[in-house]
Amino acid sequence: MSLSLLVYRSRSTNQLKKDKVVAMSKHFAVRNRDRDITGMLVFDGQYFMQVLEGPGRRSLPCMS
């Protein structure tokens, strides 16, 4: 089976509080687990950097 890997950086347009980012990340983690996607999300208060790896060509949220 093929694997897709996505690495990107994006700038947040809103001022996000830590609680909001933690809640988002927990929500994404459940969705990702259900879809056999692994990865990590880093946020420095302005930029997100995310690594996602999943089965097939169209499994990753940003690529479908």
State the minimum distance, in angstroms, from the CB of residue 30 to ligand FMN.
Answer: 9
Question: Is 61 a residue that touches ligand FMN (CB under 6 A)?
Answer: yes
Interface with ligand FMN in residues 28-47 (CB under 6 A): 28, 31-32, 41
Which phi and psi (to 5°) does residue 55 adopt? -70, 145
Question: Is-contact 55 33, C-beta < 8 A?
Answer: no
Q: Which is nearer to ligand FMN, 1 or 6 (CB)?
A: 6
CA distance 48 to 42: 6
Q: Which amino acid appears at position 44 of this protein?
A: D
Interaction site with ligand FMN (CB under 6 A)? 28, 31-32, 41, 48, 50, 52, 61-62
